[in-house]
Structure 1
Amino acid sequence: MNIKTWLAASLICVAAMSALVDGLFFWRGIYARPVTAAFADTLLALLIIMWIVADQRDHPQVERPFDYGFLLMVFWLPYLPYYLWRTRRFAGLGLFAGFLGLFSLGFFVQLAMWAILVLNK
């Protein structure tokens, strides 16, 4: 397995564990955002940045300036859809939707739990 696969698997695992914690907090009635969720969001961002750096080695058509790592750390959110579009076109938009889905997984778990609670009353 290559490094991109490991990073993608790590990204999915961290998002799933964060969504589980968000769901447990919601189930117990604690609506404040726990510190673990903020840590997980930061870790997700770092994993995505590391995935972009690893993926860019396979795409030489995208140029990297000398301060690429710093720029990526600062502007990763607007750069991600541009990079995915530039390297993969329409498939990149699907991949971007998947990344957004991973970031929003905790919200979707809470929304599903709320819908189940409302429908059971």
Structure 2
Amino acid sequence: MTIKTWLIASLICVSAMSALVDGLFFLRGMYDKPVSSLLAGYVAGILLVMWILADRKDHPQVGRSFDDGFLLLVFWVPYLPYYLWRTRRGTGLWMCAGFLGLFSLGFLVQLAIWAVFQVEL
């Protein structure tokens, strides 16, 4: 397995565990975000930046500046759709939607729990 595969697998695991914790807190009626969930958001962002840096080695058509790593760490949110579109075109937009789904997984789990218990009442 390559480093890119490990980074994506780690990103999926961190997002899933964070969503599970968010869902459990929501199920118990504690609506504040736990500290572990906030930390998981930062870790997921760093894992995504590390994946972009590892993936860029396979795509030389994307230009790099002298302070590439720092700028990517600061501006990864607007850069991700651009990078995925530039390297993969339509498939990249689907990947961007997948990454967006991973980052909003906690909200989606809470929404599912809310919908289940609204129907049950």
What's the CA shift string for 1:38-75, capped at 9, x where partnerless?
Answer: 10000000000000000000001111111000100110
Identity %: 67
Structure 2: where are the runs of 5+ without partners?
none
Amino acid at match of 2:87: T
**Which TM-score applies when normalising by structure 1?**
0.99
List structure 1 segments (4+ residues) > 2 angstroms apart after TM superposition: none
Amino acid at match of 1:108: L
May I ask how many residue pairs the two structures share in their alignment? 121
Map residues 1-121 of structure 1 onto 2, 5 A cutoff. Answer: 1-121=1-121
Structure 1: where are the runs of 5+ without partners?
none
CA displacement at 1:33 relative to structure 2: 1.1
Counterpart of 2:58 in 1: which secondary structure? Answer: coil
Cα distance between partner residues in 1 of 2:2 and 2:80 = 21
CA displacement at 1:5 relative to structure 2: 0.3
Cα distance between partner residues in 2 of 1:52 and 1:106 = 23
Cα distance between partner residues in 2 of 1:49 and 1:56 = 11
**Which TM-score applies when normalising by structure 2?**
0.99
Cα distance between partner residues in 2 of 1:52 and 1:71 = 12
